[in-house]
Amino acid sequence: MGFPTVRPRRLRSSQRLRDMVAETDLGPERLIAPIFVQEDAREPVPVDAMPGVHRWPLGAVHEEAKRILEEGVDKFLVFGIPARKDEVGSEAYNPQGVVQRAVRELRRELGDRATIMTDVCMCQYTTHGHCGIVARGPGSWYVDNDATLPYMGKIAVSHAEAGADVVAPSSMMDGVVGQIRRSLDEAGFTNVLIMAYSVKYASSFYGPFREAAESAPAFGDRRTYQMDPRNAAEALKEAELDVEEGADILMVKPALPYLDVIRIVKDAFPHYPLAAYSVSGEYSMLRAAGERGWLDEDRALLEVLYSIRRAGADAIITYYAPRAARLLREGRNAFRGPRSHRGGQAPPPGGSQQPREGGREAEPVPRGGGQGRQARHPGGRAGGLGHGLRAPHPGARG
């Protein structure tokens, strides 16, 4: 059976029908907001390449967190920029270090209203800017995997002691998840979760972050530990090892250039929650185009977040988290359409994700030919996939 009996456009003919059959949902509960804390900052320091993102001083970081919380995002991923760096990144596990103090501040000010996650790595803390212990021979150097592991365990425990709920190892050292699980358990933190940066690529999209976190390597690059962008199947090996080592949540990073990887990891590990990190470069790219008026940033950022959800991510780490949450909360979700809130009625608080009932159907239905622009196939879905009505959870698919 085909055209003219089958007309896919019928299901797109009103906002209400589009909302009814939408395959993917997106709410603020899916979003995690990164926060930068700078030990020697006196006031918020703007990050040049990431307009709208700041490095917050201790003592003020909870104010930023509260602002984000008010937008509806209650998960934070904390990154520290220490005042002192050394060869072994000892500020990373100092109980009085910048992240540890920031976490205590957030815990004190927010109580249990927020889930606090921390990045477990050394690159912001080492003079050489690498994610582990650097061993040097004559004319050569390498990041010493096994020498790094105990440090990772120490860093994670120090974060847990400060009150972190979730630790997120991002160093891409082999065995880091198992090491951290053992260290946490031995220290009594059996309930602290590990969100593993399982599949982390050596990506140019981290550029703006390295400015924000002052973590660019002083020599060499990260290609001996982060993954090669040409590889996808290898992601399954990384994810599998992290599962075996005790990861609670897997992660793919970056997100947008690796949607295929998100999909295969979700398909291979449907029983594990999957996070995707939409990294600094993804943010900067959209912000730059938005500032120039080259694209509709609000619409584009939601489209990107939907694409990451559609690919299979359960949670998304994004610098757009507060802005996206506001759009969703105010019913300014371009895909649900502002015109679905009629008669000047505000959407119910937090209710913009629920299908609205009642109300007139005021959506003009294009008729006849010559309307191709409004009704053009969105392009993201090829025909003939045989999808019927599916559960909204992308991970539940095929």
Residues at the interface with ligand PBG (CB under 6 A): 119, 121, 123, 131, 170, 206, 209-210, 215, 222, 279-280
Question: Which of 38/333 has CB closer to ligand PBG?
Answer: 38
Minimum CB separation of residue 185 from ligand PBG in Å reads 24
Question: Which of 64/347 has CB closer to ligand PBG?
Answer: 64
Minimum CB separation of residue 21 from ligand PBG in Å reads 34
DSSP codes, 76-107: EEEEEE-S--BTT-GGGS-TTSHHHHHHHHHH
Q: In the annotation, is 85 catalytic?
A: no
Report which DSSP code applies to 124.
T
Minimum CB separation of residue 64 from ligand PBG in Å reads 17
Question: Which of 217/392 has CB closer to ligand PBG?
Answer: 217
Q: Which residues pair with 195 in a beta bridge?
A: 249
Q: Are 285 and 215 in contact (CB under 8 A)?
A: no
How far is 379 from 339, CA to CA, in rounded Å?
Answer: 23
- The half-sphere exposure of 347 on its side-chain side, counting CA atoms within 13 A, is 23
Closest-approach residue to ligand PBG (CB): 209
Measured over the CA atoms of residue 143, residue 146, residue 148 and residue 149, the dihedral's sign is positive
- Residue-wise burial string across 237-254, b where 16 or more C-beta atoms lie within 10 A, e elsewhere: ebbebbbebebbbbbbbb
User: Does residue 4 have a cis peptide bond before it, meaning omega lies within 30 degrees of 0?
Assistant: yes
Question: Which of 281/312 has CB closer to ligand PBG?
Answer: 281
Residues in the chain: 398
DSSP codes, 11-69: GGSSHHHHHHH-S----GGGEEEEEEEETT-SSPEEPTTSTT-EEEETTTHHHHHHHHH
Question: Which of 265/276 has CB closer to ligand PBG?
Answer: 276
Question: Which of 121/316 has CB closer to ligand PBG?
Answer: 121
Q: Which of 75, 85, 154, 200 is catalytic?
A: 200
Minimum CB separation of residue 24 from ligand PBG in Å reads 23
Q: In the annotation, is 154 catalytic?
A: no
Beta strands 54-57 and 45-46, pairing class:
antiparallel
Active site members: 200, 253
